[in-house]
Amino acid sequence: MPDQPAFATVNPYTGRTEREFECVEGRAVDDAVEAAHAAYEQWRAQPVEKRAEIVGRAAELMAERKDELAALLTLEMGKLIAQSEGEVDLAASILAYYAKNGSAFTRETALDVGDGAAVIVHEPLGVLIGVEPWNFPLYQVVRFAAPNLVLGNTILLKHAEICPQSALALAAVFHDAGMPEHVYTNLFVSHDEIARVIAHPLGKGASLTGSERAGASVAEVAARNLKKCVLELGGSDPFLVLDAENLDRTVAAAAAGRLGNNGQSCVAAKRFVVLDDVYDDFVAGLRTLFARLKIGDPADRSTTLGPLSSERAAAMLAKQVRDAVDAGAKIVIGGGRPDHPGAFVDATILTDVTPDMAAFKEELFGPVAVVYRVADDNEAVALANATDFGLGGSVFCADPVRARRVADRIESGMVWINHPTSTRADLPFGGIKRSGFGRELSELGMREFTNAKLVRTFPSDAPLGNVAG
């Protein structure tokens, strides 16, 4: 029998295990795939407007249950309560977006072929498996699930082991919105069982947000079984500061971009690339903001820095910082773990990180900022691109022409100018290089798991032309 993950709510602030859940495996997993396929045959036959109506009702229920859902996010992974409420709002907006626009996004597209007619019909594929992480337990699920549910696919969802109650609460939202049974199914399964679902003949695709290792594993199984997959695998996003204009705002944006979700975001600003004449003032300003942070209970609205998601995550990040310092990096502030119970790591600023250090290459997933000094725009771009990741990035500059010129040279799936990398329902989300491939959100998010089927029509008495295969 494969090792099973411990699906459990462990409060990262207290370390106390609140609830535990059993996994399913083997035949029960096959049964779930088969039930989802049977549901797909009925679900895809519903008018898109009916599917959209149910997804829209889920958005309403999510808004109505905002307090309950936000409390679960804070309990399970330590997110500050105001940010948990913001995540609920964001997830509800994504559901509402696809409820409103799904019908237009699935409308057939006519082609200008000159003779006869030709259209592209956008059809669902079938049963999809979603593998989602813990850091945004609602948002990252709905950005995958919402467009596909409106499209007519059915969803099997394997959530992270540390947020089972959030997973169940989201499944309840879909159920109570009127989603037919087995259209959206939460699965508490081991990592080994994910491969079983992808390989199943009735499984038609997989989407994963997570680590490079997990993404490579899913992609390997999907490729071996000729299945489509979409991967979002994190990043080491650069934050470029090109001038001193509005520096207070830039520093505030840097702190927000690094510390949101206690620093545990794939698109968090992680590498701050600052021109020489701004560098000292930028570092001093960022240090001041980091020094003002108050650690504590994430459910307390006066807390401004909560715990990491787990003790394991905190210990790993602290080790990465120690290794960098041992290799010659300098600490501006922080650098350790506070004398406080819970999975806390000091808000930390590192400088003098060099390419031979692990911290130069690794994603630091928590409240640790690495600041680099550069001489000019060319050096800034070269450093921004000196990473295996390519998810997001930011450019701060008062000159919009210069900012755009630099942004166009950054190798990533997203670049935001004069704002930290962020997300909205109507904007595509995804990366390149080792940050993965494919896009979620916007209309593009509804195109990943579709059959773009050509239907070509001639009059019944039209002459036959060349036939090629």
Residue-level pLDDT at 148: 98
Token pair in block for residue 321: 């910082």
Residue-level pLDDT at 462: 87
Residue-level pLDDT at 333: 98
Low pLDDT (below 70) residues in the chain: 1-5, 468-469
Catalytic annotation present for 397: no
Name which of 52, 139, 151, 50 is nearest 94 in CA terms. 139
Q: Indicate which residue of 232, 363, 440, 448 is catalytic.
A: 232
Residue-level pLDDT at 468: 66
Catalytic annotation present for 229: no
Task: Check: pTM over 0.85? Answer yes or no.
Answer: yes
Residue-level pLDDT at 363: 94
Q: Indicate which residue of 163, 229, 266, 397 is catalytic.
A: 266
Q: What's the pLDDT tens digit per position in 335-373?
A: 999 999 999 999 999 999 999 999 999 999 999 999 999
Domains in the chain and their CATH numbers? 7-233+435-455 (3.40.605.10), 237-417 (3.40.309.10)
Q: HSE of 172 in the Cβ direction (CA atoms, 13 Å)?
A: 11
User: What span, in angstroms and rounded, lies between the C-alpha atoms of 379 and 228?
Assistant: 38
